[in-house]
Amino acid sequence: MKRFAGAKVVVTGASRGLGRAIADAFADEGAEVFVGYRTRAADADEVVTAVRARGGVATAFAVDLRDAADVERAFTALLAQAGRIDVLVNNAGTSRDGLFPLQDEEAWNDVIATNLLGTVRCCRAAVRTMWRDRRGIIVNVASIGALLASPGLTSYAASKGAILAFTRTLAAELAPKGIRVNAVVPGLLATGMVTRLDARVVAEREKRIPAGRLGSAEEVASTVLFLASADASYVIGQALVVDGGMTL
């Protein structure tokens, strides 16, 4: 039997990259997946079409995590369709590169509103039904940017570090109600932001990875599924690093 047969799983930022890999992995394990996106409607529809072609169940939904009212709207509609949320994966994120003295407040606010406050808002919306049902799983996607200094990414690092602190405290609050909260901390992956970096920069960073290579989205997705599964039933408030040893 598939591990997540019949489960209702919400993945934000699932139209491409790591989010898509996570949505695909849950769908292939029997979950009904809700594919969150902000602007990439065509990409989200492609994910849904591919899942359905493999015999899975998926629905795309638009949401702007920077807007509290829009998060409420999106989750109200989603819950009207799904009835409950069994697993929430907060994957959506953004970065605004630039040295700290040169970054304006708008750039900072955009990153914090998307990465940190977006995660908080989605958790708040999902926890209502999880609290009612006395069960549920939340997996927040952080980054090794929260653990290693990355000049030019101060706002991104701050948002991801805050997600780790938020995850620990939320886990302690919700565990007595049967809700498990954990985080996954991806390293450098051959997808997403890394693909926008200069190849020479990527090659130099790759040399610092003991595993000798970049990670794949699928490797992180399998870790997310572990954290959401019954195999991790006693794992609470942890940040599982998947980085090929880069932070050692």
In 147-196, where does DSSP find H-type helix?
A: 154-174
Q: What is the total residue count of the chain?
A: 248
What letter represents residue 225's amino acid? L
What are 191's two structure tokens? 């997808």
Alpha-carbon span 236 to 192, nearest angstrom: 28
List strand residue ranges (DSSP E) for 23-161, in order: 32-37, 57-62, 87-90, 136-141
134: buried, middle or exposed (CB in 10 Å: 19+, 13-18, 0-12)?
exposed
Q: Is 37 a catalytic residue?
A: no
What are 212's two structure tokens? 């000798």
In the set 23, 156, 184, 232, the catalytic residue is: 156
What letter represents residue 133's amino acid? D
What are 135's two structure tokens? 């069960």
Residue 183 phi, psi dihedral angles, 5° rounding: -130, 150
Contact 75, 122 (CB under 8 A): yes
Catalytic residues: 156
